[in-house]
Structure 1
Amino acid sequence: MKLFIPLLLALAMRTTHAAPACEAPPPAPIDIEANSYYADANHSVIDPEKRARNIASTKPIESFLSHVARDANGRDAACALTWLASWGERKAMLGKLSSEQAYYVRKWTLSGMALNYARVKPQATPAQRAAIEGWFKALADATIAHADAKKGARNNHYYWEGLAVTAAGGVTGETRYLDWGRKVLHDALGQMAPDGALPAEMERGVKALHYQVFAATPLVMMASILDIRDPRLETLVAFTVAAAADPSGIARRSGLKQEPADSREVTTLYNRHAGKPSPPAGQALWQARLGGALDVPNPLEHLQ
């Protein structure tokens, strides 16, 4: 892509010291053990003990993604590819999933791996591409199967599934994954209230604002990857950013004081896609699930 050379330079400039030696990839988990950690029906009150147990059980996967993201964002591209190919060859995360939370972990990880792989794909060997992209396709197929089998409300989890599959489609060139992601995005915009609120997220009690932001984030990234420009996206982003700045509207809507939420990821991704200047972030934004450094455009993004 035409942005590849400048992106590599930008990423390289972020690393001011020599990269450490590439460690051997960790063992590939075939199964995923994870548990829900909320104590109420609205999934708004966290049980600390359950949360700690979930963090401990998913740490190997979270650490893997974090390491790959750092390497893909300028530290050591070859190491990122080695790690991804190692887990790809072993078909990691395609075994037994213990709970819905395990499915959440898998989709967030696929999203991050595909978006980080996009940064280093041009440096992959043919064997690495085959191992990584074949694995991503298997993960995307499993994600679609799980999503399509679920009935009822579509919420932030569906949107993150959409981003995971869309990103996999972007790096593998499989149009069926891009088409499925486009369906998810249009479903989300069709569910949205006229003012930009996402109804399922408004039902999350004190975390309604948090989940509005969390749900909007994959939607704006999907819109950029798919090069979709829809006035409803502007409404979604405007509502989300305004609510993060002043939660009183959602507090009145929900009847509950809202936990604070940071909408800078939404603003950065959407404004770049829409050709709008973003306000200074104050500090560099980093999210491994979204490809690492958000101030450096991802090769999959379609920019104005």
Structure 2
Amino acid sequence: MSRQIRAGLLSAGLLFSLGCGAASACNAPPPAVIDIDANSYYTDSHHSIIDPARKARNEAATKPVNDYLEVVARAASNYQAKQDRGEAQCALAWLASWADHKAMLGKMTTEQSFYTRKWTLAGLALSYARVKPAATPAQQESIEGWFKALADGTIEHSEAHKGNRNNHYYWEGLAVAAAGAVTHEERHLAWGRKVFDHAMGQVADDGSLPLEMARASRALSYHSFSAAPLVMLASVLNVQSPKLDKLVKFTLDGTADPAIIQKMNGFAQEHVGTDVPGWAVIHARHAGKPVAPANGKRNWNARMGGDLNLPNPLEHPAAN
């Protein structure tokens, strides 16, 4: 067994033991993270070359938030799959604890800090949708009030930010719309629709995203990273778009043959594997197509609510 695989298994086991699971009682929630002090780690103008030391610092700074999200997403997905009320109670206790302490509503020191917060909000809102039926009125009030505050903060930062409206904007749209869908806040849903419409306006005729093509050797990776929130956003909003279909096809074609993108931007693409990305099952469900996870693998993304093979209650699968 390789060192990397062994480390991954140990990490997964630690997360399981720290949080919720059928094999152990739910532990107390970790201290709420109020301020996030993350940092950028790319060294070139294309944001394609990583400085390992800076990357390690960022991972250490964001680990408490990422670990928290992982545990909540795992418990919420387990509850939806197995209807084990203990899993729901664990996820809700963790959510309510951070909500009561106004987690992630403090100082965001850098753009990377805001990135971490929006990714986390997206995952938490989608996870909460899985367990909301089991929440008490007090838990709903606390958690949903927290989500609204985080969504408002995301909008405020996004509207003030002067940077490119690239993949980060799409994740902001998903975070705000997911929060809006689970709290029934129409203005947040409307803002998410605005982001989606803007994103569709950026999709070229060939299905590519110019701002992501500019990421040099990571263009393929960032097309996939962009498609992920957009396919979920489309399903949450229950909208269909030929432009989104083009983006999905372009990204899947590039995954199968990265030379397609290399010929377009002149950079050999970072290896991402040839398996169909997990987010593709969301697009397939919403489009009414058969869903078959690649090679039988579990499709997991905590930022998208955990188990992608398990339809999220906020999704709108097409009628078969």
Alignment TM class, shorter chain as reference: over 0.9
In structure 2, the partner of 1:57 is: 61
Amino acid at match of 1:292: G
Aligned counterpart in structure 2 of residue 213 of structure 1, from 210, 224, 236: 224
> Deviation digits for residues 93-117 of structure 1, max 9, x if unmatched?
0010110000000000000000000
Specify which structure has the bigger relative contact order, considering alpha-carbon pairs within 8 angstroms and separated by 6 or more residues: 1
Q: CA deviation at 1:263?
A: 4.4
Aligned-residue Cα RMSD (Å) equals 1.1
Residue 233, structure 1, aligned to residue 237, structure 2? no
Amino acid at match of 2:291: S
Contact between 2:293 and 2:309, CA under 8 Å: does it hold in 1?
no
CA distance in 2, matches of 1:32, 1:246: 38
Residue 284, structure 1, aligned to residue 303, structure 2? no
CA distance in 2, matches of 1:142, 1:65: 19
Contact between 1:163 and 1:219, CA under 8 Å: does it hold in 2?
yes
Residue 266, structure 1, aligned to residue 268, structure 2? no
Amino acid at match of 1:221: M
Contact between 1:213 and 1:263, CA under 8 Å: does it hold in 2?
no
Q: CA deviation at 1:173?
A: 0.3
Q: CA deviation at 1:152?
A: 4.2
TM-score normalized by structure 1? 0.92
In structure 2, the partner of 1:110 is: 121
Q: CA deviation at 1:260?
A: 2.5
Q: Secondary structure at the match of 1:265?
A: coil
In structure 2, the partner of 1:203 is: 214
CA distance in 1, matches of 2:226, 2:271: 15
Q: Secondary structure at the match of 1:132?
A: helix
Aligned counterpart in structure 1 of residue 99 of structure 2, from 85, 88, 96: 88
> Deviation digits for residues 236-276 of structure 1, max 9, x if unmatched?
11111111111112101111100133542232110010000
Aligned residue pairs: how many?
A: 288
Alignment of 1:149-160 (within 5 A): 149-160=160-171
> Deviation digits for residues 200-223 of structure 1, max 9, x if unmatched?
100001000000110011001000
CA distance in 2, matches of 1:19, 1:180: 41
Q: CA deviation at 1:74?
A: 1.5
In structure 1, the partner of 2:309 is: 295
> Deviation digits for residues 54-106 of structure 1, max 9, x if unmatched?
11111100010011111111261101000000000110000101100000000
Amino acid at match of 1:295: N
CA distance in 2, matches of 1:150, 1:18: 43
Residue segments in structure 2 that go unaligned for 5+ positions in a row: 1-20, 80-86
Amino acid at match of 2:48: S
Residue segments in structure 1 that go unaligned for 5+ positions in a row: 1-16
Amino acid at match of 1:208: A
In structure 1, the partner of 2:11 is: none
Amino acid at match of 1:21: A
Aligned counterpart in structure 2 of residue 184 of structure 1, from 181, 195, 207: 195
Seen in structure 2, the aligned counterparts of structure 1 residues 255 and 158 have a Cα distance that, compared at 3 Å, is: same
In structure 1, the partner of 2:259 is: 248
Amino acid at match of 2:311: P
Amino acid at match of 2:148: K
Contact between 2:115 and 2:168, CA under 8 Å: does it hold in 1?
yes
In structure 2, the partner of 1:4 is: none
In structure 1, the partner of 2:40 is: 36
Alignment of 1:13-32 (within 5 A): 18-32=22-36
**Percent identity (aligned):** 59
